[in-house]
């Protein structure tokens, strides 16, 4: 965070004039100031995501490929990236990646000989039986 945003006499984030030491202390320790600083940081971080680096990357101020949404202006895009829908989709995408990695590691074990599910401690005589087991409800719960 830039140091010039917060001085002894002025808070540029909140646009607040601070005339005394007690006023400075109460302002910089307030929840309102903390919220505005947080929002300021999020906004500047999201705006930084909009820059295209010339390597054929998609312009994030026009389209969010995760949520498959198109934006008419950068302000709308910023609102989306700071919103609940994008956060929810981002969280789900992270979960899906972890689940896929775990399943791939378990699946790769199955190709090394007798087909074994290490999670459930069960052996199978064929790959078809193993695949069926991995997709089953009991295995998914474990």
pLDDT above 70 covers a percentage of the chain that reads: 75
**The pLDDT of residue 53 is above 50:** no
**The pLDDT of residue 104 is above 70:** no
- Domain assignment present for residue 40? The answer is yes
What integer pLDDT is reported at residue 110 of this predicted model? 42
- Domain assignment present for residue 20? The answer is yes
Q: The CATH number of the domain where 2 resides is what?
A: 3.30.160.60
Burial of 131 per CB tally in 10 Å (0-12, 13-18, 19+): middle
- Dihedral sign from CA coordinates of 17, 19, 21, 27: negative
Mean pLDDT computed over 102-118: 62
Tokens of 141: 């719960």
Residue 11: how many other CB atoms lie within 10 Å: 19
How big is the chain by its Cα radius of gyration, in Å?
25
**Average pLDDT score, the chain:** 76
Q: What share of the chain is helix, strand, coil (3-state, %, to 5)?
A: 55, 10, 35
State how far the Cα of 16 lies from the Cα of 100, in Å rounded to an integer.
Answer: 50
**The pLDDT of residue 15 is above 50:** yes
- Domain assignment present for residue 86? The answer is no
- Domain assignment present for residue 114? The answer is yes
3-state secondary structure at position 103: helix
Q: Which range of residues forms the domain containing residue 109? A: 98-142
- Domain assignment present for residue 26? The answer is yes
- Domain assignment present for residue 68? The answer is no
**H/E element holding 123?**
strand 122-124
- Domain assignment present for residue 28? The answer is yes
**The pLDDT of residue 32 is above 70:** yes
Q: How far is CA 101 from the centre of its chain?
A: 18
State how many domains the chain has. 2
- Domain assignment present for residue 67? The answer is no
What integer pLDDT is reported at residue 103 of this predicted model? 66
**The pLDDT of residue 55 is above 50:** no
State how far the Cα of 46 lies from the Cα of 82, in Å rounded to an integer.
Answer: 8
**The pLDDT of residue 67 is above 80:** yes
């Amino acid at each position: 965070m830039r140091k010039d945003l917060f001085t002894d006499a002025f808070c540029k984030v909140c646009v607040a004039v601070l005339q005394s030491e007690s006023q400075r202390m109460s302002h910089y320790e307030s929840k309102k100031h903390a919220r505005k600083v947080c929002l300021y940081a999020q906004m500047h971080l999201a705006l930084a995501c909009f820059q295209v680096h010339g390597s054929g990357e998609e312009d994030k101020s026009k389209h969010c490929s995760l949520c498959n949404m198109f934006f008419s202006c950068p302000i709308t895009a910023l609102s989306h990236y700071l919103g609940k829908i994008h956060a929810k989709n981002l969280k789900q995408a992270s979960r899906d990646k972890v689940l896929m990695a775990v399943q791939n590691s378990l699946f790769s074990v199955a190709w090394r000989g007798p087909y074994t599910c290490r999670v459930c401690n069960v052996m199978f005589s064929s790959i078809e039986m193993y695949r069926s087991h991995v997709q089953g409800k009991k295995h998914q719960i474990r």
